[in-house]
Structure 1
């Protein structure tokens, strides 16, 4: 269990992706390449727990291993998001941040981890589902600015073939996968 100050600090950390920052990297994708999203995304099947298999480095997940994201339905079509990071090791101390997501268009969501600032448009970060397999076991998520991207799965490990297919989706959306880092889960 984390204290109120830790939760607030973590919320700010997870929200950092939504705020413009000169200190952030230029990004990991060629933004001239149009992004293709999963237009047939079935949100009811997408809900539940996902394990972070791989990600592009970012400030708000520095030192995080054993990362999970849990999505659950809220009223008015919103989605509750709980991201959990294990500091330093897959079994390290857990820190969680709770946010909300809203659907902007099929496959395109925006996420906010700073509820008291949710009235400000720039506090909502892009969360585009680029691909999800037929069984909703592996998903690829990215951002138009290319500063973030993730490979998620319903289990802590995926096959080499699933990883290859997910990387192919990232490449097809302009990402340079050389910077992609595997996330320890066990």
Structure 2
């Protein structure tokens, strides 16, 4: 699974603005083992949006499922996990791979913050500037994945997966690494 948080490029008639994406990648290796990685990339105003698509494409294999974070207003109770509609403005940046489906997660900011806290990370402010948002896209992607784990996994699996995630975050902090691969 690749959990993505995307700040889309401006439309053709909009002012040039920075854009980018954050990805949290979980790859199942064995029955009870997974590999985890986090990746983020920002692009300056005026960059070709196709560069973002090609960078996102490199994160996918034929077996990959995408979980795409779509922000919803805070305290909105209309959160949902659903198949990604083909007409979505995000669809041109997400490759369709194999037989796997892409899921979008419409998550209100307060619930994204809660999911982040479960994982021991923090997301501040519901209305960041474009530059602030680029700086936290990888964190939003992780929080989106955490939200999915909480909402979609049975309790036994959830405990195991969250324990593995907490171990990974502690290893990352101990290494002194950033959140890129």
TM-score after normalising by structure 2: 0.27
Q: Greater helix percent: which structure?
A: 2
TM-score after normalising by structure 1: 0.27
Higher-RCO chain (CA-CA 8 Å, sequence separation at least 6): 1
Q: Greater strand percent: which structure?
A: 1
